[in-house]
Chains A and B, each alone.
Chain A
Amino acid sequence: MPTQVLAHPAEQALVLLLPTELYTFGGTLAVLASIILISIVPGQGLGRIYRGFRIAKGFDIGVAPHLTSLVSTILFFALLYVGIHGPNDPQSNLLPQVIWTGWWVGLFVLQAVIGDFWRWINPWSGLCWLLFNGDAPLLRYPARLGAWPAFGIFMLFQIFLLADIAPSDPDRLATLAFLYWLFTFAGMALFGPAIWTQNVECFSVLFRLITSLRPVHCGKDVRIGMPGWASFELAPLDMARALFCLSILVSGSFDGLRETFWWLGQIGINPLEFPGRSAVVWSSTIGLILANIIVICIYAACVQGGIFIARRFGTLTPAPFAPAFRTYAITILPIALGYHFAHYFVSFLIQIQYLAATLGDPLARGWNLFGLGGLRVTTGFLNSTETVKPILLMNVAAVVISHIISIAMTHHLSGRIAKTRRDLILIQLFLSILMILYTIFGLWLLSTPRGA
Chain B
Amino acid sequence: MSNGTSKKTDLNRRTALKGIGAGALLATGAMPGSLGFAQAQSSAPIRIGFQKHATGIGAAYGRWYDATTQAAVKRINDMGGINGRPVEIVVEDDGTDPKRGAEVLEKFANQHKVDVAFGTLFSHVVIGSAPRAGELKLPYFVVSEGHHVASGMLNRYTLQPGITDVKSQVQSMAPFVANNLGKKVTMIFPDFAFGHDHRDFFSAAIEAQGGEVVAKIAVPPAETSFTRYFPQIPRDTDVVYHVMVGPAVLTFVKELGEFFGPSRPEIFGFIDSLEAVDIQSPGLEFLEGTYFWEGNPRHAQENNSEFDTAYRAAVGVDARGASLDDPKDVSTYAHMFGCWETLNVIKAGMETADYQGPQDRAKLIGAVEAMTDLPHSLDHPQGAKLFNGKTHQVFGAQFISKVTDGTLKVEHTASIEDGMYEDEVDYTAQSF
Contacts and interface: CB of A to CB of B under 8 A. Distances in A.
Interface of A: 3-5, 7-10, 12-17, 84-92, 165-166, 168-169, 261, 264-265, 270-279, 354, 357-358, 361, 363-366, 373-381, 383-387, 449-452
Q: Which of A10, A264, A387, A449 has the most CB of B within 10 A?
A: A10
Interface string B74-109: 000000000000000011110111111000000100
A364 B16 contact: yes
A90 B222 contact: no
A275 B96 CA distance: 8
Contact of A10 (B57, B193, B194, B276): B276
Give chain A's interface secondary structure class: loop
Given A9-B60, A378-B326, A271 B246 contact: yes
11 contacts: A7-B57, A10-B276, A14-B277, A17-B254, A87-B8, A88-B90, A91-B93, A273-B221, A274-B56, A380-B322, A383-B277
Q: Which of B8, B275, B278 has the most CB of A within 10 A?
A: B8
B13 A3 contact: no
Nearest to B249: A13
Nearest to A171: B20
A89 B16 contact: yes
A144 to B, nearest CB: 42
Q: Which of B20, B52, B193 has the most CB of A within 10 A?
A: B20
B95 A3 contact: yes
A163 to B, nearest CB: 13
Given A276-B97, A451-B246, A378 B5 contact: yes
Q: Which 5 A-B pairs have the closest CB atoms?
A: A276-B97, A380-B328, A364-B13, A380-B329, A12-B247
A169 B56 CA distance: 13
Nearest to A364: B13
A17 B19 CA distance: 46
B32 interface: no
A53 to B, nearest CB: 44
A358 B251 contact: no
A89 B119 CA distance: 14
Nearest to A5: B59
Q: Which of A88, A272, A383 has the most CB of B within 10 A?
A: A88
Given A169-B93, A364-B16, A376-B325, A449 B248 contact: yes
A69 B341 CA distance: 50
B60 A449 contact: no
Contacts of A9: 60, 246-247, 275-277
Interface in B176-200: 190, 192-194
Contacts of A380: 278, 322-323, 326-330
A364 B5 contact: no
B13 A165 contact: no
B278 A374 contact: no
A277 B14 contact: no
Contact of A17 (B54, B283, B326): B283
Contacts of B41: none
Contact of A16 (B190, B248, B329): B248
Nearest to A357: B7
Contact of A5 (B3, B60, B95): B60
Contacts, number: 226
Contacts of A375: 6-7
A392 to B, nearest CB: 13
B98 A275 contact: yes
A91 B5 CA distance: 12
A377 B63 contact: yes
A92 B91 contact: yes
A91 B14 CA distance: 15
B10 interface: yes
Interface in B293-331: 322-323, 325-330
B26 interface: no
A125 B330 CA distance: 47
Given A10-B276, A165-B100, A276-B97, A88 B92 contact: yes
Contact of B92 (A89, A364, A379): A89
B93 A386 contact: no
A274 B251 CA distance: 20
Given A16-B248, A383-B276, A277 B93 contact: no
A92 B249 contact: no
Nearest to B56: A3
Nearest to A280: B97
A274 to B, nearest CB: 5
Nearest to B251: A16
A365 B95 contact: no
Given A270-B221, A276-B96, A92 B8 contact: yes
B275 A381 contact: no
A9 B14 CA distance: 32
B224 interface: yes
B58 to A, nearest CB: 9
A387 B328 CA distance: 10
Interface string B17-30: 10111000000000
B192 A364 contact: no
Nearest to B286: A17
A274 B55 contact: no
A452 B57 contact: yes
Interface string B368-410: 0000000000000000000000000000000000000000000
Contacts of A8: 59-60
B36 interface: no
Contacts of A89: 8, 12, 16, 52, 54, 91-93
A433 B96 CA distance: 40
Contact of B329 (A4, A90, A358, A379): A379
A166 B281 CA distance: 34
A379 B283 contact: no
A139 to B, nearest CB: 37
Contacts of B284: 385
Given A270-B192, A376-B325, A16 B281 contact: no
Contacts of B3: 376
Contact of B14 (A166, A364, A385): A364
Contacts of B6: 357, 374-377
B282 interface: yes
Given A91-B93, A278-B97, A384-B278, 4 more contacts: A85-B20, A88-B16, A165-B100, A271-B246
B2 interface: yes
Contacts of B8: 87, 89, 91-92, 364
Contacts of A385: 281-284
Contact of B325 (A14, A276, A378): A378
B113 interface: no
